[in-house]
Amino acid sequence: MDMRSRISAALKDAMRSKEAERLSTLRLITAAIKDREIALRTGEENAPAVVGNEEVLGILGKMVKQRNESARAYEEGGRLDLAEREQQEARVIEEFLPRQLSEEEADAAITSAIDETGAESIRDMGKVMGALKSRYTGQMDFGKVGPRVKERLG
């Protein structure tokens, strides 16, 4: 079952069970996917009409990151009620993401990508990051992985 079908099925289940918060978050996910499709269609003539699973995973990963950053900001501002809501949304979105790689698994993936691409210097960082993104989208935080790759190549 592809990502869009899973999200659609979860949306219908949330409607049936009258889970307002979950339904709201699932609608946000659907809207983000539709926004991306519209952006693709208006940007390029030969762009696909539908985003694929990899792109959906990227959108979901970005949404989780945004929710976590907002929750931190709300906590620092003393708005714990808003922080909790952001965390709830992040948990719902994370249900659709694959399991995150552990530190050891991420290190192994970095080593593998460096070996596969034949990277030798910091100039090859783009190749390594591209290889990681093609294989591990949604499974690792590339904002944290980037500095680790840079350290290994530097």
3-state secondary structure 80-102: HHHHHHHHHHHHHHHCCCCCCCC
Instruction: Tell me what pLDDT residue 101 has.
Output: 85
The fold of 3-94 is Hypothetical Protein Yqey; Chain: A; domain1 (1.10.1510)
Instruction: Please state at what angle helix 20-43 crosses helix 53-76, rounded to 10 degrees.
Output: 120
**Tokens at 86, concatenated:** 């952001």
Question: Residue 40: which residues within 8 A CB-CB, separation 6 or more?
Answer: 47, 48, 51
Tell me the one-letter amino acid at 11.
L
Instruction: Tell me what pLDDT residue 48 has.
Output: 63
The whole model's pTM is what? 0.74
Range(s) within the chain of domains with CATH label 1.10.1510.10: 3-94
The series of mean pLDDT values per 10 residues for the chain, 154 residues long, is 88 94 95 89 67 86 92 94 95 89 88 88 88 84 86 83
Instruction: Tell me what pLDDT residue 9 has.
Output: 94
Instruction: Tell me what pLDDT residue 47 has.
Output: 59
- CA nearest 85: which of 73, 100, 98, 97? 73
Instruction: Tell me what pLDDT residue 117 has.
Output: 87
